[in-house]
Amino acid sequence: MTTASVAQTDLLADPVARELLGSAIPARLAYTWGDGTPRVIPIWFHWTGAEILLGAPPNSPKMKALAARPAVSLTIDSNEWPCKVLLIRGTARVSVEAEPFPEWLLAAQRYLGEEGGRDMLALVKQTFPAWARIAIRPEEVRILDFGAGKFPSAWSAGQHP
| pLDDT given for residue 143 in this prediction | 87
**Could you tell me the domains of the chain?**
4-148 (2.30.110.10)
Averaged pLDDT, 150-156: 54
Give the pLDDT score at 3: 45
Provide the percentage of residues in the chain whose pLDDT is more than 70. 82
CB 159 within 8 A of CB 79: no
The pLDDT of residue 132 is above 70: yes
- Across the range 66-87, mean pLDDT stands at 92
Mean pLDDT is lowest, of 11-15, 102-106, 136-140, 143-147, for 143-147
Full-model pTM: 0.85
Question: 45-54: buried (b, 16+ CB within 10 Å) or exposed (e) per residue?
Answer: bbbeeebbbb
DSSP assignment of 59-104 equals: TSHHHHHHHH--EEEEEEE-SSSSPEEEEEEEEEEEEEESS--HHH
Query: What is the rounded distance in angstroms from the CA atom of residue 42 to the CA atom of residue 28?
Result: 4
| pLDDT greater than 90 at residue 89 | yes
> What is the Rg, in whole angstroms, of the alpha carbon atoms belonging to the chain?
17
**Where does the pLDDT of residue 156 fall: very low under 50, low under 70, confident under 90, or very high at 90 and above?**
low
Least confident piece of the model among 96-110, 119-133, 141-155: 141-155
Task: Give the residues across from 36 on adjacent strands.
Answer: none
Residues 6+ apart with CB under 8 A from 26: 42, 43, 44, 45, 76, 111
* pLDDT of 1: 37
Q: Is 132 strand, coil or helix? A: strand
Q: Residue 112 burial by CB count (10 A; 0-12/13-18/19+): exposed, middle or buried?
A: middle
Query: Rounded to whole angstroms, how far apart are CA atoms 157 and 13?
Result: 27
Task: Pick the more confident residue, 59 or 81.
Answer: 59
Name the DSSP class of 46.
E
In whole numbers, what is the pLDDT of the chain averaged over residues?
Answer: 86
